[in-house]
Amino acid sequence: MIRLISVLVVVFSNLFTYGQPEKIPLEQFVGYYDVGVKPNSPFFKSRWYLREGKLYTIYDSDQDRLFEPYENGVFKSHIVFDENDLPAVKDDTTYYLVLNFQADKLQSFKVIRPRSEWPTDLYGYRNEKLSRLALDTEFELTEYHKTGHFTIRYSLQDNNLVGHIGKSLESRYNGLLKDFKMDTLPVTRINIYPDLGTYHNAVLTPGAPSWQMGRVWDKNDIRMLSPATAKEITGEEMDLNELVLHEFVHSLHLNLIKDGTRVPGWFWEGLALYKGCCQWTESPFELDYIKKKKYPALSKIEKDRTSQMKYDLGFYILEFIDKKYGWDKILELIQSNGDIKLSLGLTARQFEKELYQYLQVEYAK
């Protein structure tokens, strides 16, 4: 996960300003940008949008941040149109921004980040197709509900549901923190979006498949689709409490590991399915490939392009570890980031053999 803190935080190393053209209206900054850490190889997105006349930016897994490019009517000193206008020796707390405007729009930008914090810079390129979606996705989230450990923002249509979600989460809160051996946790923010398009836009994945309905956005921030809308889409009774519990376990997990850790999919989803919610099938033998005894290796689950296998099997893998090796081993696996060898002393082959034996004994009928 890419954590991009304070990309546009303003630290004034000096107030010297360079030659300035006319003030560019904020509307010209608005857009969707494909962003990467090398020139011309973007791999995530950023949305720049207006909220009550002010410009905000959001990058993957980061908070929405107010971006005020001007001070006293001119660009702030760390913002330029030509990189050559930046000081040769850069201040190591400043994020410098190089902007390229063409045809009355910001076309591309470069963020030069402090080397003490980041080894790389950011390169952003306007995505013209998506730019019409560069909107304030929180616009309809006018309602607010607060419990001891959660704040929930939602739209009017979910008025009747948020009380339950708060209560349900609170009822599990202490037990979960105890299981994960955590003393405290910052307040968790939950945003519930009214429709699928707005939700996907809020998590910077416009056009994502409709089964994607919730996500832990950063470690104390959960974003999800309205359960009422989810029900309409799937035709199934969506239990909001269960969906959010799943995301909350992801959030606990993120609070236990270093920022930017890429967790193996089977372990990431397995933990949230097993400890949060849900066991989607009653038995792994409802799955075709398990029925046919085509037992996938962990590496195969990891490489599965459809990402389905980690959801199919994650619950059972975690159940197996818990039953056979104990919950403390799962806590160790969180620390080793799913390293079977390190935490369980098993090769992947040995682990898979034990796992599928266990599933046969427990579930094959």
Q: Which residues of 165-194 are buried (b: 16+ CB within 10 A; e: fewer)?
A: bbebbeebbeebbeebeeeebeebbbbbbb
Looking at beta carbons only, is 97 or 240 nearer to Zn ion? Answer: 240
Question: Quick check: 55 binds Zn ion (CB under 5 A)?
Answer: no
Looking at beta carbons only, is 60 or 269 nearer to Zn ion? Answer: 269
Report in angstroms how near the CB of residue 27 gets to Zn ion at its nearest.
Answer: 37
SS3 per residue for 244-288: HHHHHHHHHHHHHCCCCCCCCHHHHHHHHHHHHCCCCCCCHHHCH
For 246, list phi and psi in degrees, rounded to 5: -55, -50
Looking at beta carbons only, is 29 or 267 nearer to Zn ion? Answer: 267
Looking at beta carbons only, is 35 or 202 nearer to Zn ion? Answer: 202
Report in angstroms how near the CB of residue 301 gets to Zn ion at its nearest.
Answer: 14
Where are the strands (E) in the chain, listed by range?
A: 31-36, 44-51, 54-59, 65-66, 70-71, 74-75, 79-80, 96-102, 105-112, 122-126, 143-146, 150-154, 188-193, 214-218, 221-225
Report in angstroms how near the CB of residue 279 gets to Zn ion at its nearest.
Answer: 13
Report in angstroms how near the CB of residue 246 gets to Zn ion at its nearest.
Answer: 6
Q: Using CB positions, name the residue nearest to Zn ion.
A: 272
Report the DSSP pairing between strands 54-59 and 65-66: antiparallel
Q: Which residues of 205-223 are buried (b: 16+ CB within 10 A; e: fewer)?
A: ebebeeeebbbbbbbbbbb
Report in angstroms how near the CB of residue 253 gets to Zn ion at its nearest.
Answer: 10
8 A C-beta contact, residue 80 and residue 96: yes
Looking at beta carbons only, is 233 or 278 nearer to Zn ion? Answer: 278
Report in angstroms how near the CB of residue 9 gets to Zn ion at its nearest.
Answer: 30
Report in angstroms how near the CB of residue 314 gets to Zn ion at its nearest.
Answer: 9
Looking at beta carbons only, is 158 or 269 nearer to Zn ion? Answer: 269
Residues contacting Zn ion: total by CB under 5 A: 2
d(CA 218, CA 48): 19
Looking at beta carbons only, is 7 or 192 nearer to Zn ion? Answer: 192
For 93, list phi and psi in degrees, rounded to 5: -120, -5
Report in angstroms how near the CB of residue 143 gets to Zn ion at its nearest.
Answer: 25
8 A C-beta contact, residue 48 and residue 109: no
- From residue 254 to residue 283, the character string flagging contacts with Zn ion as x (rule: CB under 5 A) and all else as - is ---------------x--x-----------
Looking at beta carbons only, is 192 or 272 nearer to Zn ion? Answer: 272
Judged by the rule CB under 5 A, the positions of this chain that interact with Zn ion are: 269, 272
